[in-house]
């Protein structure tokens, strides 16, 4: 009976060692595959960046080729009489200020006896 127990214990230890070894091998394989995938991802990112840069340069070159030169017939000349600036803005500001003053006067009249 003790021989059977010893043999079973020996087989169990052997199986546990084998399992531990197999698990370590699987961990190593997983690390190797993970590193390989990381390298491939980095390579594809670099390729994408190069392709995007090349595409942008191609678009710019195409746009530069299609631009036609523009000839100016006559240079710009300033007007002899300058228009007054900001008339509309000054009118709106004056109306707002007048309305505020009117509201304040009405408020003071309603508050004072």
| More confident site: 19 or 82 | 19
pTM of the model: 0.44
CA angle 104, 108, 111 (to 5 degrees): 140
Confidence of residue 88 (pLDDT cuts 50, 70, 90): confident
pLDDT single digits (tens) 25-78: 999 999 999 999 999 999 999 999 999 999 988 888 887 777 777 676 777 777
CA distance 97 to 72: 47
């Amino acid at each position: 009976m003790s021989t059977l127990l010893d043999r079973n214990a020996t087989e169990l230890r052997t199986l546990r060692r084998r399992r531990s070894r197999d698990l370590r091998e699987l961990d190593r394989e997983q690390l190797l595959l993970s590193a390989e995938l990381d390298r491939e991802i980095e390579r594809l990112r670099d390729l994408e960046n190069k392709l995007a840069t090349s595409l942008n340069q191609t678009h710019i070159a195409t746009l530069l080729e299609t631009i036609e030169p523009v000839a100016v017939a006559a240079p710009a000349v300033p007007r002899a009489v300058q228009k007054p600036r900001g008339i509309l803005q000054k009118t709106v500001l004056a109306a707002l200020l007048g309305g505020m003053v009117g509201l304040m006067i009405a408020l003071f009249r309603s508050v004072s006896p």
